[in-house]
């Protein structure tokens, strides 16, 4: 029996996709056009089969429609983006909210979960898996949601959709805090970022393997996916030492990660397809802007240059 047979998934090359270009962002509500999304998907086509999308708003809806209209060979893991339902004083960049805001957030989250259900049922041939949230239970998050509420959302989606349902989170909460949720989800989705935890490129793959093994050993009867793993190419020194990131290191990590996950039949969504300059602070070296295998102008970084030339 294969690693993912129980949830009707199989190993494919997988990548996280968000197509916001310069001057676009979800905050500004300026979204990539049909033409821009199609251009992105043509770039990714043939290299990846599985795409992860993060929310149920205008941009992911456009992506799903482009895939359907153009008959592109992609399967999608679609996520709902849920925001803070409780304050988090442990968030370093601010996670405290008024009760009025938290109430509004709970209503917005319910609506987002409803959209997730609607889209899952509208695109059953394209959407292969679902997530009810992203990094909403880890200690440092600014959008903290109680575990019991994530369980509620999971059951709500499972009751109304045929696709398997998960929740995407850093590996640490899965080791203890999320054990009640693990009893409910159809599969576990972990995030692992060695470079955020001050690992060098020489330690990177082993650290990722340790993260995966630690969670898999706690839940031997539940499939585990990696829904984010990557290596930044620039840093301003805040959170990630400058000397630990560059295109060469990203290429090394990407190659090693691809080789290991393919050998072990582990579905791993690499983070991410394209650099996104809207993210993080205004500092151009903000690491949040520099995780893409392609730059914001869609030119390939070192990790993909040989692959891009071979398939162009």
Comparing C-alpha atoms, which of 154, 241, 149 is closest to residue 189? 154
pLDDT at 163 over 60: yes
Of 144, 57, 135, 63, the residue nearest 97 (C-alpha): 144
Domains located in the chain, CATH noted: 5-307 (3.20.20.80)
Is residue 74 within 8 A of residue 49, CB to CB? The reply is yes
188 pLDDT above the threshold of 80: yes
CB 12 within 8 A of CB 50: yes
CA geometry: angle 78, 101, 113, nearest 5 deg = 20
Contact 170, 191 (CB under 8 A): yes
Cβ-Cβ contacts under 8 Å for 163 (sequence gap 6 or more) = 120, 124, 127, 128, 129, 130
Count of CB atoms situated within 10 Å of the CB of 140 = 13
How does pLDDT run across 75-128, given as a tens digit for each residue? Answer: 999 999 999 999 999 999 999 999 999 999 999 999 999 999 999 999 999 999
pLDDT at 305: 86
* Inter-CA distances, 240 with 61, 198, 281, 285, 306, Å: 33, 7, 14, 11, 27
Bigger pLDDT: 310 or 73? 73
CB atoms within 10 A of CB 103: 12
Model confidence, pTM: 0.96
CB-CB contact of 87 with 144 (8 Å) = yes
Mean pLDDT of the chain: 96
């Amino acid at each position: 029996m294969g690693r993912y047979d129980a949830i009707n998934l199989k190993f494919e090359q997988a990548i996280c996709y968000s197509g916001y270009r310069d001057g676009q962002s979800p905050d500004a509500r300026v979204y990539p056009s049909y033409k821009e999304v199609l251009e992105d998907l043509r770039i990714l086509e043939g290299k990846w089969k599985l795409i992860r999308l993060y929310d149920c708003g205008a941009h992911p809806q456009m992506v799903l429609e482009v895939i359907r209209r153009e008959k592109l060979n992609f399967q999608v893991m679609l996520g709902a983006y849920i925001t803070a339902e409780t304050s988090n004083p442990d968030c370093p960049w601010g996670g405290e909210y008024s009760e009025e805001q938290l109430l509004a957030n709970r209503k917005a989250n319910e609506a987002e979960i409803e959209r997730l259900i609607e889209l899952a049922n509208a695109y059953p041939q394209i959407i292969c898996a679902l997530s009810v949230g992203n990094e909403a239970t880890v200690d440092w998050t600014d959008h903290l949601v109680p575990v019991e509420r994530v369980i509620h959302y999971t059951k709500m989606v499972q009751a109304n959709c045929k696709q398997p349902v998960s929740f995407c989170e850093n590996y640490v909460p899965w080791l203890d805090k999320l054990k009640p949720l693990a009893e409910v989800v159809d599969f576990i989705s972990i995030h692992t970022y060695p470079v955020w935890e001050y690992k060098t490129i020489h330690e990177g793959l082993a650290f990722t393997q340790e993260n995966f093994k630690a969670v898999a050993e706690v839940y031997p009867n539940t499939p585990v996916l990696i829904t984010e793993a990557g290596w930044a190419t620039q840093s301003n020194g805040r959170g990630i030492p400058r000397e630990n990131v560059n295109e060469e290191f990203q290429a090394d990590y990407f190659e090693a990660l691809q080789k290991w996950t393919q050998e072990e039949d582990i579905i791993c969504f690499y983070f991410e397809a394209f650099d996104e300059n809207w993210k993080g602070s205004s500092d151009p070296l903000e690491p949040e802007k520099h995780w893409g295998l392609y730059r914001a102008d869609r030119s390939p970084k070192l990790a993909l240059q040989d692959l891009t030339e071979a398939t162009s």
